[in-house]
Structure formats: structure tokens, C-alpha cells
Structure 1
Amino acid sequence: MLDSPAAQVPALSLQDEAADPAAFAAALGGSFERFGFAVVADHGIPDELIERAWAETKALFDLPDDEKRSYYTPAGGGQRGYTPFKTEIAKGASAVDLKEFWHVGRDLPAGHKFSDVMPPNIWPTRPEGFRPVFEELFAAFDKAGDRLLSAIARHLGLDPHWFDPAVKDGNSILRLLHYPPIPADAEGVRAGAHEDINLITLLLGAEEAGLELLGSDGQWLAIKPPAGAMVVNVGDMLQRLTNHVLPSTTHRVVNPPPERRGHSRYSMPFFLHPAPDFLIETLPQTISAANPNRYPAPITAHDYLHERLVEIGLVKK
């Protein structure tokens, strides 16, 4: 399943955003409009922090199964802590995904207005260095995400700071993903065809083969970023906000060749969400006679997220 042609997604540098914000915004927006994806190097997250995060991630998933499951809270919809292997299913899929994962969210001060919908983090006892590493990495992803959103705002003709109040105290989630070794005849794929729920997703770990996007002609295309680069894709909330001017592209993680299925695969997506009370309302400049408003009824980010979590099996009706 790894013979898909490569998607010709251009590699951009976030360093160019500081030197020429308008040019970077045009390049990023153009890549999103064509593919729903972008590849971004020089993203500002230190290599040594990423290496520490990979080490902590592997140590976490190497823990005994019963220890990991002690951090699983089914009633929480998988928002924090551990979610076991074969729990999540892509919308409309028949087979569950072949993965386990851990979620780190935003820490809120006591009594915060969003505390009822953004639960506190669950921190494991082991590995001992886990919490400080992922608090630091969450903040670094947040910073990179803000710069990318600023470029998206420019591309859409908005003020560069338009997204700032939308994502302040946003319900973003850092997911640590482990695709365990699987038998050669495993049913299903590591992550079924799906779209992301959020505004944008920032992904580390896509150098390992397997990530594919669905092209406009219906052909699956492999994403092959340069070493150290970040893959960024549009989520459904941004697609809805922009009336599909920026499309949320279907993607999947396919199984490796049989000889590689005895190896684990790890990745770290950061799902950048707005605050729960942010109203997803179609931007007027994205509505035209050729592109009429697909979403005349606005919806809050929290209500939209809840709908989608039910669809993928993390929240029960």
C-alpha cells in the first residue's frame, strides 16, 4: 500500500514569514487551496526538545498495558490522558484504527470560565520527565501555530491578528501517537481515511512513510516531507469558516510493507482549536455567486467538536 505517487506539496520555510509576511502568506495559502496541506521547515521548535519528546513518548508507550489503561477515562471523550489501541474509528469506517494515543491539553487556572468543558491534564507517574517536556512542547506548538494562523489571516484579507482572540485559551490538543507493530495480515489500516476537526493541524513525525492525502482526482498521494519539517493541514473548522476556500483534505496512514509491520510508528500532531465559545461563522469575503454560503447557520466550536467526537466514537451519545 506504499506505492502511491508523491504529492507535490512545496516545502516552505517559516523563517520567510518574518522576512516577507505577504509572500509567505501567499505561498502557504496557495498550498492549502491546492492540497489542503503544506510542508513547513524552520518552524522554530528546537530539535533537542523534539528529541526529548520522542524519547518520552516511546517510554510512555513502553509501559505495561494495565499501567497505561489506569490513565484512560472513557467518560472524558479521550480529551486527556490515554486512549487504548483500537478505540478510535474514522467517520464512516468499518474497522477501528490500529493505534493508541495520549492527549495533552491546555492547562487553565482554577475557576476559568472554560473549566467545565476543558478538563485538567492527566499526567503519568512514569516516565518522570514526561510533564515538563510536554508542557514545553505544547507552548512551542502554540507559538508556531499562532504564526501560521497570522499568515492564513493575511491570505484571507484579514488583519494578521484576527485569530488571536479566537485561539486565546483555545481547546488545542497535543496527541502522542503510537502505531504498534501489527501482523502481516492485520485488518484495516493504522489510521483510516478522515479529516481533522480543528482549525489547523501541525504534525511532527511524518518522515516515516505512510501518511497519504486524497487528491482532487481521487488518487491517494504520499506526503514525504524533508527531515525535521512539519506537515500542516487544514481542519474542518477552518474549512467551514472559509466556505471551503481552504479545503480540509481527506488523509490516512496506511500500513507499511509486510517486512516493516513488526516496527512501531510514532507521530505528534498538534490539533489547534479555537476557544469553546468561538462562533464558526462563514467569512463574508469567502461567499460569492460561484461559491454560495454552505453554512448559513453558525455553530460554536464546542458544539461542533462534540458532534464530531460522537461520530468518531470517542464520545457516546
Structure 2
Amino acid sequence: MNNIPSVDLADFLSDDPERKKKFISEIGKAYEDIGFVALKNHFLSDELVEKLYTEVEKFFQLPVETKKGYEREEIGGQRGYVSFGKEHAKGKKEGDLKEFWHFGQEPATDADLGEEYPDNVIVKELPDFNETGMEAYRMLEKTGIHVLRALALHIGLQENYFDHWASNGNSILRPIHYPPIKSEPENAVRAGAHGDINLITLLMGASAPGLQVQNRNGDWIDAIAQEDELVINVGDMLQRHTNNKLRSTIHRVVNPPRELWHTHRYSIPFFLHPRSDMRLDCLEECIDEDNPKHYEDITAGEFLHQRLVEIGLIKK
């Protein structure tokens, strides 16, 4: 396989049972084989994507001291700005060559949550920044819930199994800026090889290439999607919950060739997290004699805390 499979959400949303069945089969096989797909006909419009990238570029062009005024280290950077080099891949000490922003969940008044989410940080210099970010957040969350419905059916669960946990969940929209590289990086890359923490990640087209996925043979392949497609991958929470039936694939963002070191790269992933009280215990539907239970029982909140410590955003 030289690239990730492409699937069409319109098949799942159609009234034709055969098209719906086709989508479930295609996305299920892709997530068992490589853990990544490119998805077309999602709910994010081209106009909204363009508007969001415009606002994101404006933010990262602000002076460093202005941006640092929006940093919230006391909550592990779960909202607002996280400065350059602060996050690293699990098991690495070198910081990634990036800075980023976090938009978080603004739950419905009737969400009946067992926890309080931190407030989003408002950027006063850019009046459209927060509204645009949260509009994209909602469209990506809606897309992600439909993908999870297809996966629930693939696993053998009720279609709406994930709805309660993903709606009003602890999801994060993360605009990332990879600045120009000014000197030879010492063992550092734009994003070190890692698996995502969450259930699934939805990534709109980045402003430049660089994302690579590791296949089952250990080879790195470029994750290339069309302009109108989202790249969507399985995260560690879903791999754990499905007892390794669905694969959380290791991926990275490599540095560009030296002749392109002067360029900026922007990327905007949406990390779909469940509510923190969701249990990630291995599903009975995914355990049998050939695939015994691989993981201890844990909640999403406990697992998230462990991983934020491991990647350097929360101190022990």
C-alpha cells in the first residue's frame, strides 16, 4: 500500500443500504489494516477551512510575547497557546519543532457532565478567531460522530454506541504552526513518531506535505489526501477499547528538504475525545481465544492524564 485508502461519507449517509454497508466495510478494513483513511463529503466546507487557516496564520504571526500571554500552563496547555518546543513525543526528550493553540469543548447546557471543562481563551487581537475556530470544531465533531457510528456497526455494537460519549466530549481542535527551520535540528523533527491519545483524529489538509504513516512492514509512507478530504486516523483510546481490532498507527511530521527550511507549515487536527468517565475496558465483542484481553481496565480521563504526563504537557 503506497497511500491511505479513500472513503466517501455520502455512502454512509445515503438511503441505500448497500452503499451504507460498503462504507462500513471499507472503513472497517482500512482501520484494521493501517488505521488511516481519507474521507470525502464531510461536513466542513471549503469556505470555513479557508477562513480558519486565515485566522490561524494571523494568530501565529502575532509577537511572541503577545502569544505567550495566552499560555495556560496551570491546566497543562489544554486551552489557549502552547509555545514552541514544549511538547515532545512519548519516549523522546527533544521538543517538537512546533507551537500550537487549543480550542476545547463548550458543552450544551443539558450535557449532564461529571466534570467541568476549562473555558476557552479569547484572543482579543483577532475578533473572528474564536468564533471561526469553534464553528470548525462543531463540524469536525459532527463528522467524527458519524465515523464512530460506522465503526460501532463494524465492531458489532449498536450504531449510536459512541454518541453519548463523543457528544460534549473532551475533544480538542489544535491549530499547529511549524515555523521555518533556522539551523540544523539536533535529533528533532516537526512532530516525532507517535500514536494519538484519543478515539479518532480528523485532520484537514495541511498547508504543506510532511505527514507520514508507518505501515505494518515498518515502512514510512506519505499520507496524501485530496484537497476536499479529511485524513482520519484511529487513536490509542479506540485501539485499547477494541482490544487492538482497530489500529492506532504510528505517524510523524518530517522536516522538509533543506531548500524548503525557510517555509512555514500549518496543520489543524481535531482530536475527538470522549467524556472522561467513559470506560475504555476492552469490548467483549473484540475478545476471543485468538485475541485475548490485552489491556487493564481504565477510564478515558485516567488514560488522558497518563499520556499528558508522558508527552510533557503535565508535570507529575
Q: Give the TM-score category using the shorter length.
A: over 0.9
SS state at 1:136 partner: helix
Gaps of 5+ in 2: none
* CA shift for structure 1 position 115: 7.7
Rounded to whole Å, the distance in 2 between the matches of 1:171 and 1:287 is 27
Contact 2:12 2:20 in 1 (8 A): yes
| Count of matched residue pairs | 311
Rounded to whole Å, the distance in 1 between the matches of 2:159 and 2:114 is 29
Contact 2:114 2:277 in 1 (8 A): no
Report the equivalent of 2:4.
9
Report the equivalent of 1:219.
219
Please give the per-residue CA displacement for 1:135-164, whole angstroms capped at 9, x wherever unaligned: 211111111011111111111111111111
TM norm structure 1: 0.94
Report the equivalent of 1:243.
243
Please give the per-residue CA displacement for 1:99-125, whole angstroms capped at 9, x wherever unaligned: 000000011368976585521111111
Contact 2:195 2:251 in 1 (8 A): yes
| Percent identical | 43
- Given the alignment of the two structures, is residue 148 of structure 1 paired with residue 143 of structure 2, yes or no? no
Contact 2:279 2:297 in 1 (8 A): yes
Q: What letter matches 1:276 in structure 2? A: S
Q: What letter matches 1:251 in structure 2? A: H
Report the equivalent of 2:293.
293
Equivalences for residues 40-189 of structure 1 within 5 A: 40-108=39-107, 114=113, 116-183=115-182, 185-187=184-186, 188-189=188-189
Contact 2:3 2:222 in 1 (8 A): no
Rounded to whole Å, the distance in 2 between the matches of 1:109 and 1:17 is 26
* CA shift for structure 1 position 131: 1.5
Please give the per-residue CA displacement for 1:245-268, whole angstroms capped at 9, x wherever unaligned: 101111000001111111110011
Rounded to whole Å, the distance in 1 between the matches of 2:171 and 2:37 is 19
SS state at 1:201 partner: strand
- Give the direction of change, closer, same or farther, for the CA distance of 1:52–1:102 in structure 2 (3 Å limit): same
Q: What letter matches 2:24 in structure 1? A: A
Equivalences for residues 28-47 of structure 1 within 5 A: 28-47=27-46
Report the equivalent of 1:273.
273
Q: What letter matches 1:14 in structure 2? A: L
Please give the per-residue CA displacement for 1:67-125, whole angstroms capped at 9, x wherever unaligned: 00001011111100000000000001131100000000011368976585521111111
Report the equivalent of 2:190.
190
Contact 2:207 2:267 in 1 (8 A): no
Please give the per-residue CA displacement for 1:161-190, whole angstroms capped at 9, x wherever unaligned: 111112122000000000011125223110
- Give the direction of change, closer, same or farther, for the CA distance of 1:159–1:113 in structure 2 (3 Å limit): closer
SS state at 1:68 partner: helix
Higher mean alpha-carbon deviation, 209-218 vs 178-187, is at 178-187
Contact 1:205 1:266 in 2 (8 A): no
Rounded to whole Å, the distance in 2 between the matches of 1:231 and 1:308 is 23
Rounded to whole Å, the distance in 1 between the matches of 2:20 and 2:283 is 22
Report the equivalent of 1:3.
none
Rounded to whole Å, the distance in 2 between the matches of 1:101 and 1:256 is 19
Gaps of 5+ in 1: 1-5
Q: What letter matches 1:57 in structure 2? A: V
